[in-house]
A and B are shown apart, each in its own frame.
Chain A
Amino acid sequence: MDVTLASSAQSVTLNGVEVAFTKRGSGAPLLLLTSEDGNETNSDFVDALVARYEVIMPEAPGFGASPDNDRITTIDDIAYLYLDLLDRMKLRDVAMVGCGLGGWIAAEIATKTCQHLRSLTLIGSYGIKIGGPYDRDIADIYVLSKGEVAKRTYADAAKAPDYAQMDEASLQIIARNRLATVRYCWEPYMHNPKLKDRLHRISVPTVVFWGDNDGIVTPDYGRALAAAIPGAQFDLVAAAGHLPHLERTDETLAKLSKFLSL
């Protein structure tokens, strides 16, 4: 399937796996792992970060412009792949920022090694289970109606992207991201049963930002996530849902800048 790379896009082959990425801006390195739909691309949030950091945004196999790869089938696989990427780019003191699904990947990376990292920021991220077998810790986006998912994702429904109006090429990217997400995240649903038990290994300053109206993963979920990471701070973004960095960009940027400059 032909997918056009953005003008600032590049591609690298890591152990036989092709990974597309963009690298924009200059300054201290910031690895941004995007949310499931990938709407961070072409966002004010990323543009603001690009003004102050060298922002690297990789796309895992199946997402964006990265081809599918039979050998990469789990979030754990992606974590190792991105460690390969960090090694290949010879990056150190990286501020890693993960949003939603990207946050789950970031947490997996950080539990394996923090050797490349300066700090970890998780925004509305998935990855762990906090309740018992009969508890639904994470809203099932595959079972809820489109309207219900939108209500839980955005505090203000008007902020939801209008996919009916989107151009063909951009919509195709979103569709690829949706296909990749379901492939990686269906079962166990949006989490790794082992991850919670490994979070104690994270050894860099960590902040967890959460939209106070996140109906996909609740603020309580976020608090439990933060509580499991040594020394992690937890901070709510007001009037925001599951994607506070996109819905309340200025507020989130203010909090993030404060954390990153510490």
Chain B
Amino acid sequence: MEVWHFTEMPYPDVPANGPRAVTLGSGVFDPEIGRQLYQRYFDEYMLADELGFNVMLNEHHATAGCINVAGPLSCAILARQTKNARILLLGNPIANRSDPLRVAEEMAMIDCISGGRLEVGFVRGVTNELFPSNTNPSLTYERLWDGIDLVLKAWTTHDGPFNYEGRFWHYRNANVWPRPYQQPHPPVWITGGANVENVKEVARRGYKFAAFLQPFEAVKKLFDAYRDTCAEEGLPEAGPDRFAYMPFVFTAETEKEAMVGADHLMWYIGGKSEPQFSNPTGYSTIQAVMAGLRGQSASRTAFLRQGGAPLMREKGALIVGTPDSVYNQVVEFAEKVGGLGNLLVMQQGGGMPHEDTKRSMTLFGREVLPRLKKLYTNKQARAAE
């Protein structure tokens, strides 16, 4: 099992009850606090590298929940500063980017700087992202796949300029330098929510598939759809390395300390999103539109958030405790979903101080990580303990 440290790089010092994203003006952002936050988050990523984690970063816009507004910039910093960690950007919000070839260039450059340690995620982007980027909600799937195909074409074309006049972008002299370090290209990851058709496409392409903060039952369904697609379409069996899941994770000497960490991580859940931002027309299904018209929530995960920490723990989305307890919870989750080769651990959240984060990461790194690295190491059933 590969384990990837993650923080969304929050700016938690905002009014507790107001909006956190889309409409919250940058007037509440203190640049000096911002400077300190960026420095400590990168220090934590450096620590992750030292401890033997891989690292994962994402990208969000116009939100206090995430001041990592340019994933490529952060990955580039880590490409130069880390030594061993694989660097996963999960992901490039390609559906919301206006220039996919720029994405191809950024990723290729980072891959070279890092010596081939980059893994490249592509995401449709969460609903909030539609508004800063002005992306048509009903075109996100088309833009996602057209964008991915174009990036792959750019990474793998080496004999000079090609022409591309597609639905959303026109390039008459597409010629991306540099080449990626990894050949034919870095491993590709896609994230997924509930859309099974999307999972099937990911399976056909052999990309890695990641689910976030969902109950184990839902995750199993998605992973099974992937595995079934491989079986049904005569593709090689999908090994555990194709599957990834992100829970909140905090490791402590005592259960009590662990729950303090859990509280900080749960800040992520607390952001109130107005219905027009969380369920925009065209992003999801017609059923979601009808739910919105009726004034109902269309969220699949609302129940999980309403259930709070106890429910999230029960469903595998909040993994906190002593090292042994954390290890057991991870193993249990992996078994429940039929195998898991990648654990994305959100080990920092909200106002969790730097010292607490370091302590948790170090405890996990020393007492849990070496054990997890022995599990699901190959395409067959997990290695015996």
Contact = CB atoms under 8 A, between A and B. Distances in A.
B286 A179 contact: yes
Interface stretch (A124-132, A143-151, A239-247): A143-151
Interface string B148-178: 0000000000000000000000000000000
Interface string B107-142: 000000000000000000000000100101111000
B245 to A, nearest CB: 31
A182 B131 contact: no
Contact of A142 (B139, B280, B286, B295): B280
A146 B274 CA distance: 10
A175 B289 contact: yes
A216 interface: no
Interface in A170-201: 171-172, 174-176, 178-179, 181-183, 186-187
Contacts of A144: 276
Q: How large is the interface on B (under 10, 10 to 19, 20 to 34, 35 or more residues)?
A: 10 to 19
A1 interface: yes
Contacts of B300: none
Contacts of B286: 1, 172, 175-176, 179
A163 interface: yes
Contacts of B235: none
B293 A182 contact: no
B281 interface: yes
A187 B131 CA distance: 12
A179 B289 contact: yes
A158 interface: no
Contacts of B294: 163-164, 171
B289 A178 contact: yes
B294 to A, nearest CB: 5
A175 B137 contact: no
B281 A142 contact: yes
Contact of A182 (B137, B274, B290): B137
Contact of B138 (A146, A163, A182): A182
Interface string B10-47: 00000000000000000000000000000000000000
Contacts of A178: 281, 289, 293
Q: Which of A176, A178, A187 gathers the greatest number of chain B CB atoms within 10 Å?
A: A178
Residue of A172, A186, A187 ringed by the most chain B CB atoms within 10 A? A186
A144 B138 CA distance: 18
A193 to B, nearest CB: 15
Contacts of A164: 293-295
A69 to B, nearest CB: 14
B134 A172 contact: no
Contact of B136 (A145, A171, A172, A183): A183
Contacts of B137: 182, 186
A171 B290 contact: yes
A143 B293 contact: no
B275 interface: yes
Contacts of B138: 179, 182-183, 186
Contacts of B295: 146, 163-164
Nearest to B282: A182
Contacts of A142: 276, 280-281
Interface string A9-53: 000000000000000000000000000000000000000000000
Interface string B260-279: 00000000000000111000
A178 B276 CA distance: 13
Given A145-B274, A145-B276, A182-B282, A175 B134 contact: no
Contacts of B136: 182-183, 186-187
B134 A187 contact: yes
Nearest to A171: B290
A179 B282 contact: yes
Interface string A131-166: 000000000001111100000000000000001101
A38 to B, nearest CB: 13
Given A146-B295, A174-B293, A176-B286, 9 more contacts: A142-B280, A143-B131, A143-B276, A172-B290, A179-B138, A179-B282, A179-B289, A182-B138, A183-B138
Interface of B: 131, 134, 136-139, 274-276, 280-282, 286, 289-290, 293-295
Closest 5 CB pairs of A and B: A175-B289, A186-B136, A163-B293, A182-B282, A183-B138
Interface of A: 1, 142-146, 163-164, 166, 171-172, 174-176, 178-179, 181-183, 186-187
25 contacts: A145-B274, A145-B276, A146-B275, A146-B276, A163-B293, A163-B294, A163-B295, A164-B294, A164-B295, A172-B286, A172-B290, A175-B289, A175-B290, A176-B286, A178-B281, A178-B293, A179-B286, A182-B137, A182-B138, A182-B280, A183-B136, A183-B138, A186-B138, A186-B282, A187-B134
